[in-house]
Amino acid sequence: MSNEIAQALTNLLNLSRRTPGAVLPFDLNQDRFIIFSDLHKGARDGADDFRPGERAYHAALAYYLYKGYTLIVLGDAEELWEEVPQTVIDAYSHTLKLEAQFHQQGRYLRVWGNHDDAWQHSDLVSRYLHPFYPGLRVWEGLILQVKQQGQTQGELFLVHGHQGTLESDRYSDFSRWAVRYLWRPLQRTLNISLNTPAEDARLRTQHDQALYRWAEQQMGLILIAGHTHRPVFKAKAHSARIAEQIEEHERLLAAASPEERPLILDRLAEFHAEMEWAKTQERQKPQEVGLDQAVPCYFNSGCCCFSDGDITGLELADGYFRLVRWPDKNDQPRRHILESARIMDVLSEAQAKRMGREA
């Protein structure tokens, strides 16, 4: 599978570079982006995965609109394998109107994914989306050219991430039929969810690894995707990065003075709590922490359809990557920053490690 994914991503990268409008400047000193993916808005019934996260998503939109961010929806915004477009639009017209405020200010970008691949067809976009977003174009891939003092420092390649997969790309017509006519009636009856590969930890890790292996070979480029529903920051699953913090603080605790121990123990308690939250949300086995790769060339925004009502997203702002969760730890309508790193540091580190592997 990884060879097919790699070839599909290479083809899309080359196509995006040739497509007018698909390459955009990203001024580190001025521009702000927030990336959300995998809403899977449905019909407000037992098969609808977006309902738990609707409140958090609306709160996040209000915040980012006021703060001057450009909103990027990175695929699977609507669950069109299960529903026809008009059903979803009628169910979530308020959500679309909130997003449309970004579009009205020229701060809205959309990428289509496998579950909303209807939006690759301009006639369907015109019929269903243009009433909310006049003139909108929905992309398969976007490239943000990172600029600092007018000089290009690297590229961020934004895709949904399903490209090249068997069930989500090459045989998506059959998958769509199976989900709509076989799975959806069962899902509605039993009130259960299916978002492959999100439901299978092994498949999700394999897919993340395939995306990482491709990105690892791309000099000067960082890949940002969705699709797997698992937050990934600097090519490490969020749970793997928490495990690093636990290990570091356990070392600090072993060498701490009696006065220092209470503070370190408090931090360890917080990290262990965060680890259990992350592992449960990622649907991992207790011993499993998932993707943990060396070159920081791959990020994943996670999803907006976790069953607990939380959503995750990726900010590109103030010169930083920030993985964020809504709501915060106190269940308030505020963002909680899970991870952050300077964009220039990530680009430099990725380039240095790629060069080191080639030497």
Of the candidates 229, 212, 208, 230, the one whose C-alpha atom is nearest the C-alpha of residue 221 is 212
Q: Please tell me the pTM assigned to this model.
A: 0.86
pLDDT at residue 310 is higher than 50: yes
Which range is least confidently modeled, 67-76, 141-150, 243-252, 340-349? 243-252
* DSSP β-ladder status, 221-225 and 151-159: parallel
For 172-193, letters b (16+ CB in 10 Å) and e give beebbeebbeebbeebbeeeeb
Q: How confident is the model at residue 128 (pLDDT cuts 50, 70, 90)?
A: very high
Backbone dihedral region for residue 110 (phi beyond 0: left; psi -120 to 50: alpha; all else: beta): beta
pLDDT at residue 202 is higher than 80: no
Which CA distances in Å does 166 have to 2, 114, 196, 227?
11, 11, 12, 14
pLDDT 10s digits, 74-120: 999 999 999 999 999 999 999 999 999 999 999 999 999 999 999 99
Cβ proximity of 216 and 293 under 8 Å: yes
Query: What are the structure tokens assigned to 33, written together?
Result: 């982006």
pLDDT at residue 204 is higher than 80: no
